[in-house]
Amino acid sequence: MMLGGHSTGPERFGTPIFEVSEVSGLICDLLDDPRLHQIWVRGEVTNYKNHGSGHRYFSLSEGNGRDAAVINCVMWRSSASALAFTPKDGMDVLAWGSVEVYEPHGRYQFIVREMLPAGLGERHLMVERWKQELEAEGLFAPERRRPLPLFPQRIGVVTSPTGAALQDILSIISRRYPAEVILSPTSVQGDGAHTEIAEAIRRIDGLVDVIIVGRGGGSFEDLFPFNHPDVVRAVATCRTPVISAVGHEVDTALCDFAADLRAPTPSAAAERAVPERREVLRELAGLEERMRALLLHRLTAARDEVEDLRERMHPRRLARRINERMQRLAEHEDLLRRAAAARVQRERAALAEVRASLEGKNPLAILERGYCIVEADGRVVKNAASLSPGECVTIKMVDGRVSAVVEEITYDKDI
């Protein structure tokens, strides 16, 4: 559209035209930043509403007046049902979740999945930080865990001397197995409790066969000392196998991860520390029965063997066996004798053949038939051409030698 020759539309600014949904989508993309996901946010609860559907709608604010920063929040029913407290306006809280955009309305809000009162929340964060550090040190590695002794004689207990946990442990051990219980007393909650617990563990280490560390149930604040790195490291470096039994079954402390075994309650720890006396007696009775059966079997086998030897060693039977052996020995001797004679005969025949062969090849044997051997200068004369007239020769006969002088040489071709 042109008015007075000038453009009045968006094209006069040289910028594109966006649909509302496109702008909302851009905002969504911009807020899809990892720094805005799975984060903790601290603030004051305002405009808190508990909807009939179970969802919770509220805001987190910081500051007062016009300078106050506010972020809208929602906690869906599935997450809100797990809240351990009732939020109220003005309450300082720590909220964990992610910033997300509701595109149809182009509105961003903080989706809260967990919320804690600020003081308690900070301790939760501290425990998470400790957990990461201790895990990086390798204190939670499964391969560090050792088996518990099967039949311990002394059980060490690190807990409060006035707590119900100690009485439960004593009652169960006295009922199950006759083991000695040695208490290393300590405070289990309050300021400085973690130092006492760590010292109590070190104090009893090496004096017993297994150590139970724990206490009865309580709040997160009550169980907090058992999360402290001092306690975790004392458990991890303990030479004696350790059972951690902190709180009830749903409770978890960091010392549970460093212990050789985690029990859901102190009573369960006592049951795992010692065997059941009746089960041990039943197993011993079974072993005794198996040993008796094995011994009887061996005695029966030995008796049968003795009877067999007695029968085999009876005089008549023994004489018969001796005669049989002598007969077989005589037969073997006869066979050997005949085999030896046959071999000697074969060797003599072979020797005669060799002698005849050697005699046939003996150059002196022909002398007996009237032949002579002529030698000149120690060599045998094989032909007339090797002699010269006037040369001295030796003629070897069967019974002696004759010296002669060559007078004339006649060759076969001249005859």
Amino acid at 143: E
How large is the average pLDDT for residues 263-277? Answer: 93
Q: What is the pLDDT of residues 94-108, one digit of tens each?
A: 899 998 887 666 678
**Paired tokens of 159:** 């807990």
pLDDT band at 2 (very low <50, low <70, confident <90, very high): very low
> 64's torsion region: left (phi>0), alpha (psi -120 to 50) or beta?
beta
As a whole number, the mean pLDDT across the chain is 85
Q: How far is the CA of 295 from the CAs of 301, 302, 304, 307, in angstroms?
A: 10, 10, 14, 18
Closest CA to 268 of 240, 243, 235: 243
Lowest-confidence region among 147-151, 206-210, 275-279: 275-279
d(C-alpha 168, C-alpha 263), whole Å = 14
pLDDT at residue 153, as a whole number? 94
pLDDT at residue 220, as a whole number? 80
> 312's torsion region: left (phi>0), alpha (psi -120 to 50) or beta?
alpha
Q: Which one is predicted more confidently, 93 or 312?
A: 93
Q: What is the pLDDT of residues 369-397, one digit of tens each?
A: 777 888 888 888 888 888 888 889 898 88
Lowest-confidence region among 160-174, 295-309, 357-371: 357-371
**Paired tokens of 375:** 């030698």
DSSP type of residue 14: T
Amino acid at 7: S
Q: What is the pLDDT of residues 167-188, one digit of tens each?
A: 999 999 999 988 999 999 999 9
pLDDT band at 263 (very low <50, low <70, confident <90, very high): very high
pLDDT at residue 1, as a whole number? 36
For helices 164-176 and 266-273, give the axis angle rounded to 10 degrees: 30
Q: Over 70: is that where the pLDDT of 12 sits?
A: no
pLDDT band at 5 (very low <50, low <70, confident <90, very high): very low
Q: Cα 197 to the chain's mean position, in Å?
A: 33
pLDDT at residue 4, as a whole number? 43
pLDDT at residue 225, as a whole number? 93
> What is the side-by-side strand order in the sheet with 373-376?
379-380, 373-376, 392-397, 400-405
Does residue 24 sit in helix, strand or coil?
A: helix
pLDDT band at 121 (very low <50, low <70, confident <90, very high): low
Angle at alpha carbon of residue 349, lines to 348 and 351, rounded to 5°: 65
pLDDT at residue 326, as a whole number? 84
